[in-house]
Amino acid sequence: MKEKILYVVLAIVFIVAIVMTAVLGLRVDLNYAEANTITFTVGKTINIDEIKEIAKNVLGNNDILVQQVEMFGDSAIIKTRQDVTDEKLTNLCTRINEKYETELTTGDFAVNHISNTKLRSVIEPYIIPIGLSTLLIVAFYAIRYKGTKKMIGLIKYWIIAEGLLYSLYAIGRVQVNEMTMPIALALYTLVIGIYTFKNEMELDLRKSKKDKDKPE
Amino acid sequence: MKAQKKLNIVLTVLVIILVSIISFVGVYHVEKNQMVNIIPSYKLGTNISGYRKITLEVEDKSEEIDSETVTLGEENENTVSDENITLSNEIEENSVDDSSKENNTDNYKKSAEIFKNRLKSLKVEDYSVAIDESTGKIELSIPENDQTDTILSDLVSIGKFEVTDTNTGEVLLTNSDVKNVSVDISSQYGYTVPYMNINFNLSGANKLKDISVEYNDNAVVEANTTENETTEETLNETTENTSNEVSEGISENVTSDETNAESEESNTVAKTVDIKIDDTTMLSTGFSEVVDNGTLQLTMQAASDSDALKQSLYGSYNVAAIIENDPLPIEYEITENVYVQAPIQIDNLYVVIAILIAIAIILSIVMIVKFKMKGLLMTILSIGYVAIHLLVIRYTNVVLTIDGILAIGLSYIINYCFAYMLLTKIKSKDLSRTEKIENYNKCMKKYIFILIPLTILALICCFTNWDTLYSYGMIMFWGILISLLYNLTVTNLLIRNK
């Protein structure tokens, strides 16, 4: 009975997550999002944290990504979801000139619009390796544990674990970022490891019970 | 005997501590007045270190046409040239045509797909593509390595592959006839020569067979051109770098001068085909025998040293990727090409590592509380395991990515499971040495079965070309192997002596 209630709750959670994704979409972090970029070269070694601070003050938003460009340490790229107006660009230029004692003009700042990265392309490379390994692992389960019960169990727990992770991102509005897919992969590995461990323990228990029951 | 056993345990623990210090702290020596660690550093992957960011934009043809119109106008101001009118008409037509917008979006999407396929053919799996469907602007990010610049040199080529009749220009084979292209190397006269095998699909193979019959070395056609159209000159027409590489390499395959001379005498020329990429002739040749295996072999630029070979091979891979995929429906140009530091903040990475260390500490405390002295000993063994794992990762040059870091944590947990399972079996003080060894063997057997599915996953990940998964697979694989060997040797030794 408890199990049934648990499955109903899980089903509700998953449905809510799917509906939320359909209505609102997943919340992606700035690296995957549609945004504007400002690329510039100062000509002096810059500190990314300082640039980030300036960008936050000028663009008035905490959701800013600052990355170093090239190896010389004098260029950077600022990524923001906000519109980059002439006023903001002039302000940014002035603040950087003040900080690094340079004479940059707004023409030295290249503003570009970047489209979003499709999440499908982030997930795509994982599909074949994970699919193939699941098939082989399921085949191993069929041989080792004789029957389909454990095979179905493995797939069930895997779906539940990944479904909960997905629900966390969809309902909890956690940002999908570079860590998302590695976490999903680690979760998959953990499910396989823990479930196999559990099955081996059960097998051991059954064996020792059988040995005890055997007449001497 | 008891003292000997204690000494064995102490020595083992000391060795583990030493290995741990070497792995976590390093071994330093003075070099040029600086302390240098002789233990290799980690090779960081794209999602930790950085990547190449490339912006591709649709080449603005109208601008070119405009400038051409202006030039023509300047040349002959008083007369309106026919060409001028035609070009202006073309521009007007383009701007008026409403359906072209939709067509453009399809072309942009198709182009992005072709770029993806080219990268896949080049075995660059660790890429990301973002397309702006209204402008066709494509943002690409690919790993930074010694092949990156070579890849980019040809990535935006239209890639129209054609085999045409030299004399009539009739198109005999195109990209759509190609199934795949493989690149390999062979040795000739002390040189290493890369070559391409263009494998045609069924219809392509049939066409190729017919062509090889029709255009055999003895086939001739009446000459309708002057002598200056010799094969050698045709070969030298190549302009692009990839085409150059091919033409230099394949010059040996050209129809011999003797044949040309004979042809001139009889006022006929040998019937040959041109192999072209983007209307640039890479090779004009006939066939000495019937090709019925559906494969056309092209020899590339020979190399005498490893650097030249590497460059030649990279060039060959580029040509292969172009040939085996569709040509681009529209022309693109690279407008931005910069190396960008990874978006993951180093602070975030430290947070991940700190979380993993915290988990390890909690697990160790649980083990020590539950199994007391034995738990402490197993904790020390686990630290030794992580130390060896990290050393192996560095010495085997495994690329470390975010997935890889998580794989280190998972390997630790897997090894911990074995330790926990073993301690549960041998915690009773009443067990004799033989019983303990027996329990250890049972645990080991169980552990091997637990490792099998994880090894399957690790090995499959190892066979991917994608840095991120490869790193995960390799680190997991090493983790599993080391755990197995470590528990078979060190843990076994301690169990037997305890």
CATH of the domain at A47: 3.30.70.260
Q: Are residues A23 and A122 in the same domain?
A: yes
Contact B417 A197 (CB under 8 A): yes
d(C-alpha A59, C-alpha B492), whole Å: 61
Q: Are residues A92 and A195 in the same domain?
A: no
Average pLDDT over residues A72-99: 88
Structure confidence at residue B498 (pLDDT): 63
Residue at a domain's end among A56, A79, A114? A114
Nearest to B343 among A31, A69, A201 (CB): A31
Q: Is A184 in the B-facing interface, judged by CB distances under 8 Å? A: no
For the segment A13-59, what is each residue's pLDDT rounded down to a tens digit? 999 999 999 999 888 888 888 888 898 888 888 888 888 889 888 88
Contact B341 A117 (CB under 8 A): no
Which of A71, A116, A191, A196 to mutate against chain B (most B CBs within 10 Å)?
A196
**Which chain A residues touch B456 with a CB distance below 8 Å?**
133, 136-137, 140
**Which chain A residues touch B337 with a CB distance below 8 Å?**
none
Question: Where are the extended beta strands (E) located within chain A?
Answer: 35-41, 64-69, 75-80, 110-114
Contact A178 B344 (CB under 8 A): yes
Q: How many structural domains are present in chain A?
A: 2
Residue at a domain's end among A64, A81, A114? A114
Contact B128 A117 (CB under 8 A): yes
Nearest to B338 among A69, A113, A188 (CB): A69
Residue A85's alpha-carbon distances to A30, A92, A96, B299, B336, in angstroms, are 19, 11, 17, 55, 22
CA distance A193 to chain B (A): 7
Instruction: For residue A80, count CB atoms less than 10 angstroms from its CB and return exposed for 0-12, middle for 13-18, buried for 19 or more.
Output: buried
Nearest chain A residue to B47 by CA: give it: A178
d(C-alpha B273, C-alpha B269), whole Å: 12
Domain that holds residue A76: 35-114
CA distance B337 to chain A (A): 10
For the segment B126-139, what is each residue's pLDDT rounded down to a tens digit? 787 888 888 888 88
Q: Are residues A132 and A97 in the same domain?
A: no
Q: Are residues A108 and A51 in the same domain?
A: yes
Q: Are residues A52 and A15 in the same domain?
A: no
Q: Are residues A162 and A192 in the same domain?
A: yes
d(C-alpha B65, C-alpha B88), whole Å: 8
Average pLDDT over residues A85-90: 89
For the segment B291-348, what is each residue's pLDDT rounded down to a tens digit? 888 898 888 877 777 778 888 888 889 889 999 899 999 999 998 888 887 766 666 7
Nearest to A125 among B413, B452, B469 (CB): B469
- Contact yes or no for B163/B269 (Cβ under 8 A): no
Lowest mean pLDDT among A59-63, B166-170, B206-210, B491-495: A59-63
Average pLDDT of every residue of chain A: 88
Q: Are residues A151 and A183 in the same domain?
A: yes
Residue B149's alpha-carbon distances to A52, B153, B468, B486, in angstroms, are 30, 6, 21, 43
Among candidate residues A135, A150, A140, the one with its CA nearest the CA of residue A206:
A150
**Cβ–Cβ pairs < 8 A, chains A and B:** 131
d(C-alpha A37, C-alpha B137), whole Å: 14
pTM of the model: 0.72
Structure confidence at residue B492 (pLDDT): 84
Q: Are residues A127 and A171 in the same domain?
A: yes
Q: Are residues A126 and A22 in the same domain?
A: yes
**Which chain A residues touch B133 with a CB distance below 8 Å?**
115
For the segment B51-69, what is each residue's pLDDT rounded down to a tens digit? 888 889 988 765 544 444 4
Q: Is A192 in the B-facing interface, judged by CB distances under 8 Å? A: yes
Q: Are residues A45 and A97 in the same domain?
A: yes
Residue at a domain's end among A65, A86, A114? A114
Q: Are residues A22 and A71 in the same domain?
A: no
- Contact yes or no for B365/A147 (Cβ under 8 A): no
Q: Are residues A160 and A90 in the same domain?
A: no
- Asked if the model's pLDDT at residue B227 lies above 90, the reply is no
Average pLDDT over residues B166-173: 88
Average pLDDT over residues B352-375: 90
